[in-house]
A = this chain, B = another copy of it.
Amino acid sequence: MQASDVTTGSVFQTPPEGVDGELLERINRWWRAAKYLAVGMIYLQDNPLLQEPLRPEHIKNRLLGHWGSSPGQAFIWAHANRLIRQRDLDMIYLSGPGHGAPGVLGPTYLDGSYSEVYPDKSRDEAGMRRFFKQFSFPGHIGSHCTPETPGSIHEGGELGYVLSHACGAVFDNPDLIALACVGDGEAETGPLATSWHINKFLNPISDGAVLPVLHLNGYKIANPTLLARIPREELASLLRGYGWEPLFVEGSEPMAMHAAMAAAMEEAVGRIQAIQAEARRSGEAQRPHWPMIVLRSPKGWTGPAALGDKKLEGFWRAHQVPLPGPQKDPEQLAMLETWLRSYRPEELFDEHGTLLPELQALSPQGLRRMGSNPHANGGLLRHRLQLPPIESYAVTVDTPGRVEAENTYPLGELLRDAIGLNPDSLRVFGPDETASNRLQAIYEVSKKVWMEDLLPEDSNGSELARSGRVVEMLSEHTLVGMMEGYVLTGRYGFFHTYEAFAHVIASMFNQHAKWLESCNLHAPWRAPIGPWTCLISSTVWRQDHNGFTHQDPGFIDLAGNKSGDVVRVYMPPDANSLLAVAEEAMLETNVCNIIVSDKQKHLQYMNLEQARAHVAKGISIVRWASNDDCGTQPDDPDVVMACAGDIPSKETLAAVEILRREIPQLKIRVLNVVKLFALTQPSEHPHGLSDRDFDSLFTTNKPVIFNFHGYPWLIHRLTYRRTNHANLHVRGYKEKGNINTPLELAMNNQIDRFNLVIDVIDRVPSLGSRAAHVKEQMKDAILANRAYAHQHGMDAPEVTNWRWTPPQA
A residues near B, CB below 8 A? 45, 60-62, 64-65, 136-144, 146, 155, 157-160, 185-186, 188-195, 197, 200, 220-226, 229-230, 234-243, 309-311, 314-317, 432-436, 448, 450, 452-453, 455, 457-458, 460-464, 472-475, 477-478, 500-501, 503-504, 506-507, 510-511, 514, 517-518, 521-522, 544-550, 552, 554, 557-558, 560-563, 711, 713-714, 716-717, 720, 725-726, 735, 738-741, 744, 786, 789-790, 792-794
Contacts and interface: CB of A to CB of B under 8 A. Distances in A.
A419 to B, nearest CB: 19
Contacts of A517: 548, 735
A197 B560 CA distance: 36
Given A223-B448, A311-B460, A45 B711 contact: no
Contacts of A453: 229
Given A138-B790, A195-B190, A226 B200 contact: yes
Nearest to A741: B138
A148 B722 CA distance: 44
Which of A200, A223, A741: most chain B CB closer than 10 A?
A223
Contacts of A790: 138-139
Contacts of A547: 142-144, 146, 157
Given A224-B452, A238-B242, A558 B550 contact: no
A69 to B, nearest CB: 14
Given A65-B545, A142-B549, A237-B241, 4 more contacts: A62-B794, A139-B740, A225-B474, A557-B558
Contacts of A136: 544-545, 739
A560 B713 contact: yes
B716 A478 contact: no
20 contacts: A61-B794, A138-B739, A138-B744, A142-B548, A158-B501, A158-B504, A189-B477, A194-B194, A221-B432, A222-B434, A222-B462, A222-B472, A223-B448, A223-B464, A223-B472, A503-B507, A514-B735, A557-B558, A557-B561, A717-B717
Contacts of A549: 142, 144, 146, 155, 157-158, 511, 514
A221 B192 CA distance: 24
Contact of A239 (B241, B310, B452): B241
B546 A142 contact: yes
Contacts of A741: 138
B510 A503 contact: yes
A390 B422 CA distance: 65
Given A137-B739, A554-B561, A474 B544 contact: no
Contacts of A477: 189-190
A685 to B, nearest CB: 12
A235 B243 CA distance: 9
Which of A200, A309, A720: most chain B CB closer than 10 A?
A720
Nearest to A186: B474
A747 to B, nearest CB: 11
The 3 closest A-B pairs by CB, nearest first: A238-B241, A157-B549, A190-B190
Contacts of A221: 432-433, 436
A236 B546 CA distance: 33
A142 B794 contact: no
Given A186-B474, A316-B462, A139 B224 contact: no
Given A197-B226, A514-B549, A735-B561, A190 B191 contact: yes
Given A137-B793, A738-B522, A507 B510 contact: no
Nearest to A713: B717
A786 B186 CA distance: 35
A61 to B, nearest CB: 5
Contacts of A713: 560-561, 717
Contacts of A192: 190, 194
A234 B452 CA distance: 12
A266 to B, nearest CB: 26
A210 to B, nearest CB: 17
A558 B714 CA distance: 11
A482 to B, nearest CB: 13
Contact of A789 (B138, B143, B230): B138
Contacts of A62: 544, 793-794
Nearest to A550: B157
Contact of A240 (B237, B448, B462, B735): B237
Given A433-B221, A735-B561, A474 B189 contact: yes
Contacts of A557: 554, 557-558, 561
Contacts of A64: 544-545, 739
A281 B108 CA distance: 58
Contact of A160 (B190, B434, B544): B190
A639 B168 CA distance: 54
Nearest to A218: B455
B193 A188 contact: no
A239 B240 CA distance: 10
A437 to B, nearest CB: 10
Contacts of A544: 62, 64, 136, 138
A461 B240 CA distance: 34
Given A137-B739, A552-B561, A738-B522, A188 B195 contact: no
A450 B794 contact: no
Given A139-B739, A546-B142, A713-B717, A793 B552 contact: no
A453 B221 CA distance: 18
Contacts of A225: 474
A138 B221 CA distance: 50
A157 B716 CA distance: 30
Nearest to A507: B503
